[in-house]
């Protein structure tokens, strides 16, 4: 059972700074231990500042291997694509070999994208680090409350997502949890209710991700509902 640590910061900028330092440290340790660093990136807007900080950092980039936790079914260069955001903020500005950056082919549609990515993921497990954000309803990656997915495919097709666009591809909960470290980045007052529900033990998609390793939630004071009791 993984340990879950809530780590508090005063601002989203401090969360981004801490996340950047943790990612670089976990990468150094992974490369020293087994010659490569396998990381799954989060989408949405929260991680963008962390990615910008990584773009300015020194790291052993040729040993980094990038996967994505989820993707919207849009053309690869669409600005709403999670892979496009990561490329513009970070990946396009450091020397990670393009062959080691694995965007989800969600432009093929949910079923084909999930089938293709499931093939690819097998050889990348366990991940050294999975980064996750959290939506206001407690969703993470593109795993939304009330949606059911087959447990036996690493990546799954998502339809009727409540957060646009409706069609997506997502790693499933077991695959996201197949990692040595899990780092969740949560900022902003809009996340307070989902954070309180998580602390109260409500079964949210994000709380179902239970790696064997260490889980840290880096959270700013705006997202932490000071009045709610766990």
103 belongs to the binding site for ligand 6PG (CB under 6 A): no
Task: Convert 117-131 to b/e letters by CB count within 10 Å (16 or more is b).
Answer: bbeebeebeebbbbb
- Closest distance between ligand 6PG and the C-beta of residue 130, in Å? 12
Distance in angstroms (rounded) separating the CA atoms of residues 135 and 65: 26
Distance in angstroms (rounded) separating the CA atoms of residues 211 and 106: 25
Q: For ligand 6PG, which stretch binds (CB under 6 A), given 130-138, 175-183, 193-201, 207-215?
A: 130-138
What would the two tokens of residue 53 be? 């900080």
- Closest distance between ligand 6PG and the C-beta of residue 40, in Å? 11
28 belongs to the binding site for ligand 6PG (CB under 6 A): no
Q: Give the DSSP letter of residue 154.
A: S
Sign of CA dihedral 69, 91, 60, 12: negative
- Closest distance between ligand 6PG and the C-beta of residue 129, in Å? 16
Contact 186, 203 (CB under 8 A): no
228 belongs to the binding site for ligand 6PG (CB under 6 A): no
140 belongs to the binding site for ligand 6PG (CB under 6 A): yes
| Complex with ligand 6PG: residue 59 or 109, whichever CB lies closer | 109
49 belongs to the binding site for ligand 6PG (CB under 6 A): no
206 belongs to the binding site for ligand 6PG (CB under 6 A): no
Contact 44, 133 (CB under 8 A): yes
192 belongs to the binding site for ligand 6PG (CB under 6 A): no
Distance in angstroms (rounded) separating the CA atoms of residues 205 and 137: 9
133 belongs to the binding site for ligand 6PG (CB under 6 A): yes
* Interface residue list for ligand 6PG (CB under 6 A): 42-46, 70, 72, 82, 133-135, 139-142, 163
């Amino acid at each position: 059972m993984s340990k879950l640590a809530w780590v508090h910061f005063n601002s989203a900028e401090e969360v981004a700074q801490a996340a950047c330092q943790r990612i670089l440290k976990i990468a150094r340790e992974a490369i020293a231990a087994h010659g490569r660093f396998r990381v799954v990136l989060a989408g949405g807007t929260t991680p963008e500042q962390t990615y910008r900080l990584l773009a300015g950092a020194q790291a052993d980039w040729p040993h980094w291997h990038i996967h994505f936790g989820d993707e919207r079914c849009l053309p690869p260069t669409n600005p709403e694509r999670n892979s496009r955001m990561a490329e513009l903020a970070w990946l396009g500005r450091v020397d990670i070999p393009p062959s080691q950056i694995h965007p989800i082919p969600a432009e093929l549609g949910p079923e084909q994208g999930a089938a293709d990515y499931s093939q690819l993921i097998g050889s990348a497990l366990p991940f050294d680090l999975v980064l996750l954000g959290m939506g206001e309803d407690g969703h993470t990656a593109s795993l939304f409350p009330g949606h059911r997915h087959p447990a036996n495919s690493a990546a799954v097709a998502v339809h009727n997502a409540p957060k646009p666009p409706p069609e997506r591809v997502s790693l499933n909960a077991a695959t996201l949890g197949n990692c040595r470290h899990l780092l969740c980045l949560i900022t902003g007052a809009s996340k307070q209710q989902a954070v309180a529900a998580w602390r109260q033990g409500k079964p949210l998609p994000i709380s179902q991700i239970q790696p064997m390793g260490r889980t840290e939630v880096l959270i700013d004071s705006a997202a932490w509902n000071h009045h709610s009791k766990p």
